[in-house]
Amino acid sequence: MMKKPIKITITGSTGHIGYSLLFKIANGGMFGPDQPVDLMMLGVYPGAGSMRVGLAMELEDCAYPTLNSMSSTTDLDEGFSGANWIIMLGCAPRKKGMERADLLEMNGRMFIGQGHSIAKNAADDVRILVVGNPCNTNAWIAMNNAEGVPADRWFALTRLDENRAKAQLAKKAGVHVGDVSNMCVWGNHSNTQFPDFFNAKICGKPATEVIADRHWLENDFVHIVRNRGAAVIEERGASSAASAASAIVDTVQSIINPTPDGDFHSIGVCSDGSYGTQKGLITSMPIRSDGKNVEIVQGLEINDFSRKAIDASVAELADEAATFKKLAF
């Protein structure tokens, strides 16, 4: 028996990630085969109306039983009205010659407006996953402009980094990627992030025991994960799309389903000050869920190597926040 439909709003749905993601949501791949969805495609890019129409036609032609309805708009209030989940793909892209402050200003205007509209129109149980980069700071901007929406409803995508890290550890150890667990990527979704191999496990054993090559772990592994996105662009001439869409599905499922005993996942959340991170920033942490609420996993060992790496990434987030605060809106 089908459940009551839930409304999913996707901003920037006509991009490469959106094209990969929408069909996963519509066919039950995100919320399950018994959960119908009402899809709302909220346009944030001018001139993309015909692309949204084409997407809607393709979704209609798939005849998915779980796709209850779909609609499209460029009006924020209409798009966020009654939304139970909001996945924010849309953002201002960084262009040649653009400074970080320029990017923050462009995205700031966008995410301030979206934050206001979410607070005014979304469902009481709304949850928001920000994907558009810089996703941590974009989530922080929107969260701080969405009065009344609890901080624990806001998330930033770092599961793609976790998945990349797991794949590299599995490849090095010669095991299946499913044998890698407890992989936390700390900090910012940038090339300062820290994929924590010290707390990771391979076949239930510490990764540092299975992979004895400490030089590879501390250097090659960290470098590969941090720069994987750039490497994909170099090879295919475009940023990660299918893998990002897959990570979005993984993230949502990690939030709405109980985490397996003893494991955790990476999600950008509003820091409560755990592990010495700056309270209030959206930073990637080890997260568990009971299927309804998420919590930051406590008690992980942080050695000197990890401490230095985590602090550097969180400092970058603090710098982004400080830069944004200096901008006049």
* Tens-digit pLDDT profile for residues 184-227: 999 999 999 999 999 999 999 999 999 999 999 999 999 999 99
Q: 268 and 158 in contact (C-beta within 8 Å)?
A: yes
- Report residue 225 CA to chain centroid gap: 16
DSSP tag of 180: E
In CATH terms, are 6-156 and 159-320 the same topology? no
Q: What Å distances lie between residue 156 and 71, 93, 172, 244, 252, CA to CA?
A: 25, 17, 28, 12, 11
Q: For the chain, 329 residues long, give each residue's pLDDT as a single digit of tens.
A: 679 999 999 999 988 999 999 999 999 999 999 999 999 999 876 667 788 889 999 999 999 999 999 999 999 999 999 999 999 998 877 666 767 677 788 888 899 999 999 999 999 999 999 999 999 999 999 999 999 999 999 999 999 999 999 999 999 999 999 999 999 999 999 999 999 999 999 999 999 999 999 999 999 999 999 999 989 989 998 889 999 999 999 999 999 999 999 999 999 999 999 999 999 999 999 999 999 999 999 999 999 999 999 999 999 999 999 999 888 66
Q: 6-156 domain in CATH 3.40.190.10? A: no
All residues at 6 or more sequence positions from 280 whose CB lies less than 8 Å from its CB, including other chains? 140, 270, 271
Catalytic annotation present for 223:
no
The CATH class that applies to domain 159-320 reads: alpha beta
Quote the CA–CA distance of 158 and 186 in Å, as a whole number.
9
Q: Tokens 């032609």 belong to which residue? A: 61
Largest CA distance in the chain: 55
Q: Per-residue b/e over 298-308, b at no fewer than 16 CB within 10 Å?
A: eebebeebbee
- Indicate the SS3 state at residue 313: helix
* 49-62 helix and 16-26 helix, angle to the nearest 10 degrees: 30
User: What's the pTM?
Assistant: 0.96
Residues 6 or more apart in contact with residue 179 via CB below 8 angstroms: 170, 173, 202, 203
**CA pair distance 41, 55, nearest whole angstrom:** 9
Where are the domains positioned within the chain?
Answer: 6-156, 159-320
Per the structure block, which two tokens stand in for 277? 């991170």
Catalytically annotated residue among 16, 116, 176, 189: 189
